[in-house]
Amino acid sequence: MSRNPVRSKRPQATSPQPATQGDLADGAIIDHAHALYGSDAATAVAFCGLDAWFEGEEVEFQRFARLFRRLKN
Protein backbone atom coordinates (compact mmCIF):
# COMPACT_ATOMS: atom_id res chain seq x y z
CA MET A 1 0.00 0.00 0.00
CA SER A 2 1.30 3.43 -0.87
CA ARG A 3 2.02 5.86 1.95
CA ASN A 4 1.96 8.90 -0.32
CA PRO A 5 -0.53 11.49 1.01
CA VAL A 6 -1.10 13.01 -2.44
CA ARG A 7 -2.22 9.78 -4.07
CA SER A 8 -5.77 8.54 -3.77
CA LYS A 9 -6.66 4.89 -3.27
CA ARG A 10 -10.08 5.19 -4.91
CA PRO A 11 -11.20 2.28 -7.10
CA GLN A 12 -10.38 2.64 -10.78
CA ALA A 13 -14.05 2.94 -11.73
CA THR A 14 -14.35 6.25 -9.87
CA SER A 15 -10.91 7.65 -10.72
CA PRO A 16 -11.66 9.29 -14.09
CA GLN A 17 -13.10 12.77 -13.75
CA PRO A 18 -14.85 14.93 -16.33
CA ALA A 19 -12.45 17.22 -18.16
CA THR A 20 -14.00 20.34 -16.62
CA GLN A 21 -13.26 19.14 -13.09
CA GLY A 22 -9.89 17.56 -13.92
CA ASP A 23 -8.08 20.87 -14.28
CA LEU A 24 -9.42 22.15 -10.97
CA ALA A 25 -8.47 18.94 -9.17
CA ASP A 26 -5.06 18.91 -10.87
CA GLY A 27 -4.39 22.45 -9.69
CA ALA A 28 -5.32 21.51 -6.13
CA ILE A 29 -3.01 18.49 -6.25
CA ILE A 30 -0.17 20.61 -7.59
CA ASP A 31 -0.72 23.23 -4.87
CA HIS A 32 -0.81 20.53 -2.21
CA ALA A 33 2.37 18.91 -3.58
CA HIS A 34 4.15 22.29 -3.51
CA ALA A 35 2.99 22.87 0.08
CA LEU A 36 4.21 19.44 1.21
CA TYR A 37 7.39 18.99 -0.83
CA GLY A 38 8.45 22.48 -1.90
CA SER A 39 10.98 22.37 -4.71
CA ASP A 40 10.81 18.55 -4.75
CA ALA A 41 7.11 18.53 -5.75
CA ALA A 42 7.85 17.27 -9.29
CA THR A 43 9.89 14.39 -7.87
CA ALA A 44 7.09 13.46 -5.45
CA VAL A 45 4.50 13.49 -8.25
CA ALA A 46 6.81 11.39 -10.44
CA PHE A 47 7.11 8.88 -7.59
CA CYS A 48 3.31 8.72 -7.36
CA GLY A 49 3.18 8.04 -11.10
CA LEU A 50 5.70 5.23 -10.82
CA ASP A 51 3.76 3.75 -7.91
CA ALA A 52 0.58 3.80 -9.98
CA TRP A 53 2.39 2.24 -12.94
CA PHE A 54 3.76 -0.64 -10.87
CA GLU A 55 0.32 -1.26 -9.34
CA GLY A 56 -1.22 -1.43 -12.82
CA GLU A 57 -3.42 1.65 -12.35
CA GLU A 58 -3.30 3.14 -15.84
CA VAL A 59 -5.76 5.97 -15.18
CA GLU A 60 -3.87 7.17 -12.10
CA PHE A 61 -0.55 6.81 -13.93
CA GLN A 62 -1.78 9.00 -16.78
CA ARG A 63 -3.06 11.58 -14.30
CA PHE A 64 0.27 11.79 -12.47
CA ALA A 65 2.16 11.90 -15.77
CA ARG A 66 0.03 14.91 -16.76
CA LEU A 67 0.67 16.54 -13.38
CA PHE A 68 4.40 15.89 -13.71
CA ARG A 69 4.47 17.56 -17.14
CA ARG A 70 2.69 20.60 -15.69
CA LEU A 71 5.17 20.81 -12.81
CA LYS A 72 8.18 20.53 -15.12
CA ASN A 73 6.96 23.32 -17.45
Whether residue 25 is contained in a domain is answered as no
CA distance 36 to 3: 14
Residue 14 confidence class, pLDDT cut points 50, 70, 90: very low
Whether residue 67 is contained in a domain is answered as yes
Residue 23 has pLDDT above 80, yes or no: no
DSSP-derived secondary structure letter, 57: -
Residue 71 domain boundaries: 40-73
pTM for this model (two decimals): 0.67
Domain count, the chain: 1
Whether residue 7 is contained in a domain is answered as no
For 25-48, write each residue's pLDDT tens digit. 889 999 999 999 999 999 999 999
What is the greatest pairwise CA distance in the chain? 32
Distance between first and last Cα of the chain: 30
